[in-house]
Amino acid sequence: MKSKRGFSKATVAAIRDGKILGIRAGTKPHRVIGIWAVVVEGRVFVRSYTLKERSWYRTFLEKPRGVIEVNGKQIKVRPVFTRSERLKKLVDRAYAEKFPTPGSRVFVEGFKEKKRRDTTTELVPL
């Protein structure tokens, strides 16, 4: 069964319960990288930490298509760039709850900085 935005409940659960999500942004062939993803209100959200010129986030800005890898399957996605402050706060909380270890704390706190919060992106299946 699919959720409101189209991912199956099993896919959403796998992303919610998994620590790393495989992602490849854009349409050019290259490797899948691992990033942190959270689920809020049954929707999948990601944030960019490094903001490098050749990052998945910048690639999505230029070519809003990509692929995520969940349970060995590739799913085509498109990004929806989030402006909602309410959702950004929920994503802050979701990262803190999902990644509570002392080693993760620096990244969780870093994700709360404005420049990184502004990269909050919902992934939606194509």
The pLDDT value given to residue 54: 87
pLDDT at residue number 108: 97
Q: pTM of the predicted model, to two decimals?
A: 0.93
Instruction: Describe the strand order of the beta sheet including 33-35 as a list of residue ranges.
Output: 33-35, 21-25, 66-70, 73-81, 121-125, 43-46, 37-40
How far is 13 from 7, CA to CA, in rounded Å? 10
Q: What are the structure tokens assigned to 62, written together?
A: 């230029």
The hierarchical CATH code for the domain 9-120 is 2.30.110.10
Q: Please tell me the predicted confidence (pLDDT) of residue 6.
A: 82
Q: What is the largest CA-CA distance in the chain?
A: 37
pLDDT of residue 1: 44
Domain coordinates of the chain in residue numbers?
A: 9-120
Cα–Cα nearest to 71, from 24, 18, 3:
18
Q: What is the pLDDT of residue 5?
A: 54
pLDDT-flagged residues of the chain (< 70):
1-5
